[in-house]
Amino acid sequence: MAEIVTTETGLDRALAVLKSGEVVAIPTETVYGLAGDATNGDAVLRIFEAKGRPRFNPLIAHVGSIEMATGIALFDPLSLKLTEKFWPGPLTLVLPARQPSTIHPLVTAGLDTIAIRMPQGFGRKLIDAFGRPLAAPSANSSGRISATSADAVAADLGARIPLIVDGGATQVGVESTIVKVEGGEVHLLRPGGISAAEIEQATGRKVLRRQGGAVQAPGMLASHYAPHAGVRINADEVRPGEALLAFGAERAKGSELAVAVLNLSETGDMREAARNLFEHLQRLDRSGAAAIAVERVPTDGLGEAINDRLTRAAAPRDFPQNRT
């Protein structure tokens, strides 16, 4: 079973684990990450193995400084401006990868681009001390709900990894926003912790969304973030046997009959809703309900990321169901 240490005492232990080519679960401001040395192929393989993640799904390289970032990718002026505005923070940039590079090719799944982010808090401290980029996807089994607490990591991956650093509940609660600058335009590849409106305000340019919905980057699979129970979004009523994931002050019809009810935010606060999203989904899943009905959540601001995750949680799954 994984050893659990705190952020106050865990830095040296985490460094030792990384140096030995092993993986460690760490808190970031978005969700918990499963980190390994991005320059070590064995460490990167261990990340894929612990998660059961398809190898064609590339990982985000986490950096501690701009120098580290410019050492592995080629920055255009607009991407650089985005780093000045939003790093450290929940924004990932997809950029042309420098070649040759110290980054192991498994990280980018053989693409000639690389996704990079500078995290806040413990993650950044750890990278600074380690001196190399860390590959770090979310610390959960592939396709399942992302972990926003050390307990959630332990319950899912505890038997497969040596160490978890406990930094308490994550602040943002959803993964980073992923953008790619092309031809001087900002393309949104995945909505996340920084809203499109914030990026538009910072750049003075419209953020472009490609046609065909949210699935654009390799591995942005339709089914993801899935609990064991089925998920039904934009529900106006609760059906027999369902649990309810509520939002705001007004309840869906039949809510009094729900197996369990949790509210993302009674006051309709989107930041609070993002923070609660994965934990509430997990708790409702444990209620034993056949399905989770989800009330309508607004799509503006952080709501774009929340609705993206809920839509994927509700998508038909490509792995066996424990419950139908």
Binding site for ligand AMP (CB under 6 A): 57-60, 94, 108, 111, 113-115, 137-138, 175, 178, 189, 217-220
Among Mg ion, ligand AMP, none, partner that 306 touches (CB below 5 to 8 angstroms by kind): none
**What's the angle, vertex CA 63, arms to CA 150 and CA 28, rounded to 5?**
20
Going across the sheet that includes 207-209, the strands are 3-6, 163-166, 24-26, 33-37, 134-135, 60-62, 113-117, 91-96, 177-182, 185-190, 207-209
User: 127 contacts which partner out of Mg ion, ligand AMP, none, CB within 5 to 8 A by kind?
Assistant: none
Measured from the CB atom, the residue of 34 and 126 that comes closer to Mg ion is 34
Least CB distance from residue 25 to Mg ion, whole Å? 13
Between residues 72 and 238, which has the closer beta carbon with respect to ligand AMP?
A: 72
- Shortest Å, Cβ 53 to ligand AMP: 8
Counting contacts by CB under 5 A, is residue 138 touching Mg ion? yes
Q: Considering CB distances under 5 to 8 angstroms, the limit depending on partner class, which of ligand AMP, Mg ion, none binds residue 91?
A: none
* 3-state class (DSSP) for residue 42: helix
Stretch that binds Mg ion, among 4-12, 63-71, 133-141, 195-203 (CB under 5 A): 133-141
Show the tokens assigned to 136.
Answer: 């770090």
**Closer residue to ligand AMP, CB minimum distance, 7 or 28:** 28
Q: How far is the CB of 133 from ligand AMP (least distance, A)?
A: 13
Residue found by looking up tokens 């602040």 in the block: 171
Q: In angstroms, what is the minimal distance from the CB of 241 to Mg ion?
A: 29
How big is the CA angle at 205 (ends 199 and 206), to the nearest 5 degrees?
80
- Do residues 4 and 150 make contact, with C-beta atoms less than 8 angstroms apart? yes
The CA distance from 155 to 162, in Å, is 13
Longest dimension (CA), the chain: 60
- Which C-beta is closer to Mg ion: that of 155 or that of 290? 155
Rank residues 71 and 218 by Cβ distance to ligand AMP and give the closer one.
218
Tell me the closest approach of the beta carbon of residue 217 to ligand AMP, in angstroms: 3
Nearer Cβ to ligand AMP (26/289): 26
Q: Does 30 bind Mg ion (CB under 5 A)?
A: no
Q: Please give the helix or strand (H or E) that residue 306 lies within, else none.
A: helix 303-314
DSSP state of 9: T
Write the DSSP assignment of 13-57 as a string of letters.
HHHHHHHTT--EEE--SSS-EEEEETT-HHHHHHHHHHHT--TTS
Q: How far is the CB of 78 from Mg ion (least distance, A)?
A: 26
Q: Taking CB positions, which residue lies at the least distance from Mg ion?
A: 138
Binds 277: which of ligand AMP, Mg ion, none (CB < 5-8 Å by kind): none
Q: Which is nearer to ligand AMP, 142 or 203 (CB)?
A: 142
For residue 289, the 8-state DSSP code is: -
First to last CA, the chain: 30
Measured from the Cβ of residue 286, the count of other Cβ atoms closer than 10 Å reads 14
Task: Please say which residue, 94 or 259, places its beta carbon nearer to ligand AMP.
Answer: 94
Q: What does 193 bind: Mg ion, ligand AMP, none (CB cut-off 5 to 8 Å by kind)? A: none
Segment 162-191, which members bind Mg ion (CB under 5 A)?
none
252 binds, among Mg ion, ligand AMP, none (CB under 5 to 8 A by kind): none
The SS3 call for residue 253 is strand
Q: Are strands 177-182 and 185-190 parallel, antiparallel or unpaired?
A: antiparallel
Among Mg ion, ligand AMP, none, partner that 218 touches (CB below 5 to 8 angstroms by kind) = ligand AMP
Residue 73 is classified by DSSP as B
Q: Which residues contact Mg ion (rule: CB under 5 A)? A: 138
